[in-house]
Structure 1
């Protein structure tokens, strides 16, 4: 899983310690920002489901739809995020037939 610190703005506030990254097991980009008032979870947390945001643009549009923004990303960071996802392409999904076979094998040992 990659994690990079960025600044997220919106709804009259700013979080300079927000996290953006790519989660290979879920095969999605994610964004975490703003401490939650009650829990340890982020108040803004996008990309918690499999294949939720397969493109950075999709993640960006979802943030904007909720009243937040994290653009522009530097070209270097954008490239790292794209490379993180590209490194994951071609790997079998954990929930697929290979993943089920590996689980059975690990249980039988």
Structure 2
């Protein structure tokens, strides 16, 4: 998967679904430092579309995601994910 912004590119960006946070996430490094990291908050991006829109709102484009990867992440996101201990104790909301 590739993430671009202006003339910068990360051809090894990471996209996925985090079951404990129940959110899709995106990480891209352009150079030696992290450029963008989305999906760090509980239920921040409930769909790939929302994640893509979040990235675009900051000037990033997500490219080259395989159909198989999209299907796999969508299936994982559709599974029920029970509240974690932090949520049950009221620490995380």
The TM-score normalised by the length of structure 2 is 0.82
- Divergent runs of 4+, >6 A: none
**What SS is found at the alignment partner of 2:11?**
strand
C-alpha distance in structure 1 between counterparts of 2:64 and 2:2, whole Å: 10
Please state how far the C-alpha of 1:76 moved relative to its aligned partner.
Answer: 1.1
Residue by residue, what CA displacement relative to the aligned partner does 1:23-70 show, whole Å, maximum 9, x if unpaired?
Answer: 0111000000015756xxx22000000000001000000100111011
Q: What are the ranges of 5 or more consecutive residues in structure 2 without an aligned counterpart?
A: none
C-alpha distance in structure 2 between counterparts of 1:37 and 1:71, whole Å: 21
More helix by share: 1
Aligned length: 88
Computed over aligned residues only, the root mean square deviation of the Cα atoms, in angstroms, reads 1.8
Residue by residue, what CA displacement relative to the aligned partner does 1:44-103 show, whole Å, maximum 9, x if unpaired?
Answer: 00000000000100000010011101135221111011012123x2x3211344xx4xxx
Greater Cα radius of gyration, structure 1 or 2: 1
